[in-house]
Amino acid sequence: MVRLDFVLALNLLLCLHGAARFGDRGRQQWPVPYRRFDRRPPADSYCEALYPFCPTGDRDGRIPYMRDTDVISIYRLQTPVWEFKFGDLLGKFHIMHDAVGFSSSETAANYTMEWYELFQLGNCTFPHLRPELHPPFWCNQGAACFYQGIDDLHWSQNGTLEKIGEITGSKFNDLAKWVQDDNRTGIYYETWAVRSDPGPNATVWFESYDCSQFVHRTYRKLKELGAKLSSPSQTNYTKIYLYSGEPTYLGNDSAIFGQPALKNLALDIRSFYHTFRPHQSVLDFAVSLLEAYKKVVLDKSFYLYYNFEYWHLPMKPPYVQITYEEVPLP
**pLDDT (tens digit per residue) in 239-274:** 999 999 999 999 999 999 999 999 999 999 999 999
Residue 101 and residue 161 in contact, taking contact as beta carbons nearer than 8 Å: yes
pLDDT band per the 50, 70, 90 thresholds, residue 26: low
Dump pLDDT digits (tens) for 189-216: 999 999 999 999 999 999 999 999 999 9
Nearest to 125 by CA among 273, 271, 252: 273
pLDDT computed for residue 27 by the predictor: 79
Q: What is the arithmetic mean of pLDDT over 32-44?
A: 94
The letter for the amino acid at 20 is A
pLDDT higher than threshold 60 for residue 23: no
pLDDT computed for residue 275 by the predictor: 94
Maximum CA pair distance of the chain? Answer: 70
Q: What is the arithmetic mean of pLDDT over 129-145?
A: 95
Catalytic machinery residues: 97, 211
pLDDT computed for residue 214 by the predictor: 98
Residue 102 and residue 197 in contact, taking contact as beta carbons nearer than 8 Å: no
Of 19-23, 24-28, 220-224, highest mean pLDDT: 220-224
The better pLDDT of the pair 138, 12 is held by 138
Dump pLDDT digits (tens) for 275-319: 998 778 888 888 888 999 999 999 999 999 999 999 999 999 999
pLDDT higher than threshold 90 for residue 125: yes
pLDDT computed for residue 92 by the predictor: 83
**Can you give the pTM of this predicted structure?**
0.88
Domain chopping of the chain, boundaries:
71-326
What CA–CA distance (Å, rounded) separates 249 from 17? 9
Helix (H, G, I), strand (E, B) or coil at 324: strand
pLDDT higher than threshold 70 for residue 138: yes
What CA–CA distance (Å, rounded) separates 26 from 46? 40
Least confident segment among 64-78, 84-98, 260-274: 84-98
